[in-house]
Amino acid sequence: MMTPPRRGLLSGLFLLLIGGQVFDVVFKREDWPFSSYPMYSEARSAVVVREDLAGVSAGGEFPLTAHRHFAPLDDARFRRALKRVAMAKDGGIRRDAVIETLFRRYEALRAAGVHDDPDLLGVRGYTVEWDILSGAVNRGTPDRRKLHLYVYRPPAELRSRLARAATGELSTSERDARRLVPKADVVVDAAKLSLERGGERMTDPDAASGFALRLDTRPEAYAETEINVARGRYSVWLRGKTAADGDTGALSVAAIAGAEIRCWSSTIGMGNWQDAIPAGAFAWSSSAPGAPPCTLEATGRPVTLRVSPHTGRVLLDQIWLASEQAEQPEFAEAVTPAPPHAAEASR
Amino acid sequence: MSAAARAWDRFWFTPQSATDLAICRVLFFGGLLYQRWWIDSGPWTELDEAFWFPLRIFQILHLPLLSASILGALDQIWLLALAASCVGLLTRVSTATAFVVGAYLIAIPHNFGKTYHSDAVIVFMLGALALSRCGDKWSVDAWVRQRGRSVEPPPSGEYRWPIRVAWLLWVLLYAAAGISKIRNGGLDWVFSDSFRNILLAHHYTHTPLVGWGIVLAEYPWVCTLLAGGTIFIETLTPMALFSRYARWIVIPSLGLMQVGIGLLLGVRFDAYLLVFLFWIPWGQIGQRLAPWPESERPPRPVSTPA
């Protein structure tokens, strides 16, 4: 036999349950474990949006799934966490911590045998869209694909070098070291660009020629050069750095004649070393460390390259038009095209 | 006592046989044990605190994310509590443990950036069973208490209200989903291409078990019928609490709808099935299927219409 107090207590709990649920429904709230259960409640448009993840390795991109590569996170929590972190006031600090966590989970799950994918240099998130067609016949071929997220962490060896470069601890041999790149590549020392308006050549022992270019922040400032580039497509890499005093910034690089430069983003400029590279250390970047590189489509005629300030001030050392390097370089040294006989021999 | 209070009392506390609740206890805890057998809460602690976006209830109660070793121990304690609750061993203690530890463990993932809706009903149900006398029949406790003899506990409201809580949870869930569709999607949810797009969209983003959604999407009138039927059934769900006729229509329809969502969209809500079990009149089914003649059958469970 149930006593009246027990009935009263239970009735109170039932009312609490009903009240909590009704409250969330009326005010469209989510107070877990109460909910207004809004899933699938919006009228669905004829456009499907899916967010894909891609890992970046030295060999290029490969598909990632959060629940396999970053468990216990799943895809939704992975995206939501990164978005919320990006919006947080201390987003910069949190972003670094998030990136460190992601790489740690990736390695831990690889060590546990959950996956056997290659060393991870970065993660990219793409928004993939389809216009829905009858029979979903186009599901294998998205109508639009746009990068909306990228994170990058230099490999350990490079991180070590960058840290030493940032504190001026590089040895002379490290400073003088050059990476040979294919002879078809084009390398321009920024110090040799003609300074048209506002800027200076700064002495810098870590720069390829001993001098680096620093443009004024005035929008009319720019430096130019004309170069011969064989017809073809090149990835555009900039060797630059943010100043040791923490100045941040990006450059704009445009082909005034003879070519067209395309970037995945028209707003962030090029460089953006501060996203992943310590201030004061020269490193390679295209639009930003870890982001897909900007490409230059050369027609075969002489190309006029113009460099102008985008945001803040940075030091530019080299511009490298790479015929083969389509992903973030795993080194920070200056580059020089291989002499013809060396390139022949390497084939 | 007013008529409303009497109706309330009748709805929740009319004496009922312990059979249905005992069967539901075994199936619910057994099913939950099966679903959560591989639980491993430890890795959540390996995420940076930047991922930690605590639920409001965690903020109010100042609940922290415990260390990996403690979470690992809690995982094991919870599984043990679920197993003990399933067989009815120290039922009051084991169900209370299953609720307290389970609510915390189930909530943890929801603190990491996204709240899912699939397991909240489980938390409420664990709470209800922790307060119930679900171990009075077909349990180790009952067997020990009766020293091996089979003694039928007398009908009581104690065996009815936990089942009614499950009904209420189910009804609140689907009614809320139906109301959300009306408020957010409106008539467009039924009369536009919305439902067709839902059927097709999942073939771009998920891996449905069957390709029937693509076929159904070719028939606009079928899509309109299914969309209208979905909202109609969901918003009518509360009637199932009070009318046995509505119950026979609404509850199987919702069950079929859930199966359809799993097959056509590739989205599964397995946790809901555990609460669905409480709608089934196990005692009555047992009576009908029992092999012995009417005269030798055990007493029918007392079941009073709501």
Query: What ipTM is given for this predicted complex?
Result: 0.90
A137, two tokens: 């016949």
Average pLDDT over residues B19-38: 96
User: What's the pLDDT tens digit per position in B253-280?
Assistant: 999 999 999 999 988 888 888 999 999 9
B132 sits in the region (left: phi over 0; alpha: psi -120 to 50; else beta) called: beta
Longest dimension (CA), chain B: 67
User: What is the pLDDT, as a whole number, of residue A108?
Assistant: 94
**For testing the chain A interface, which of B46, B165, B204 should be mutated: the one with the most A CBs within 10 Å?**
B204
What is the percentage of chain B residues whose pLDDT exceeds 70? Answer: 94
Contact call for B177 and A28, based on CB within 8 A: no
d(CA B81, CA B84): 5
Query: What pLDDT was estimated at residue B306?
Result: 42
Q: pLDDT band at B219, cuts 50/70/90?
A: very high
Under-70 pLDDT residues of chain A: 81, 84-94, 245-247, 340-347
- Probe site for chain B from A26, A44, A75, A84 (most B CB atoms < 10 A): A44
The pTM (predicted TM-score) of the whole model is: 0.83
d(CA A69, CA A151): 15
Q: Is B133 helix (H, G, I), strand (E, B) or coil?
A: coil
The pLDDT value recorded for residue B179 is: 96
Q: Mean pLDDT in chain B?
A: 91
* Predicted pLDDT of residue A87: 62
Rounded Cα distance between B27 and B140, Å, is 15
The average confidence (pLDDT) of chain A is 88
Query: What pLDDT is recorded for position A85?
Result: 60
Which pLDDT value is given to residue A90?
52
Structure confidence by residue, pLDDT tens digits, B70-92: 999 999 999 999 999 999 999 99
Best of A2, A16, A84, A133 to disrupt the B interface by mutation (most B CBs within 10 Å)? A2
Beta bridge partners of A146: A127
How distant is the Cα of A292 from the closest Cα of chain B, in angstroms?
A: 24
- State the pLDDT at residue A256: 87
> Across A143-210, where does the E strand assignment appear?
144-152, 178-181, 186-189, 194-197, 199-203
- Is A76's CB within 8 Å of B114's CB? yes
B116: closest chain A residue by CA:
A32
Q: Which residues have a Cβ under 8 Å from the Cβ of B272 and sit 6 or more positions away?
A: B118, B121, B170, B173, B258
For A227-253, the pLDDT digits (tens) are 999 999 999 999 999 877 666 788 999
Q: Which residues of B touch A45 (CB under 8 A)?
A: 197
What is the number of CB-based contacts under 8 A between chain A and chain B? Answer: 169
**Residues from chain A contacting residue B172 (CB–CB below 8 Å):** 17-18, 21
Name, in order, each residue with C-beta under 8 angstroms of A152's C-beta and a sequence gap of 6 or more: A56, A99, A121, A122, A275, A276, A288, A289, A290, A291, A328
Q: Do B218 and A134 touch (CB under 8 A)?
A: yes
Q: How far apart are the C-alpha atoms of B49 and B65, rounded to whole Å?
A: 10
Q: Do B214 and A136 touch (CB under 8 A)?
A: yes
Interface contact A136-B198, CB threshold 8 A: no
Distance CA A115, CA A108 (A): 10
Whether B168 sits inside 8 A of A17 (CB atoms) is yes
- Both tokens of residue B265? 């969209």
pLDDT in tens, B159-195: 999 999 999 999 999 999 999 999 999 999 999 999 9
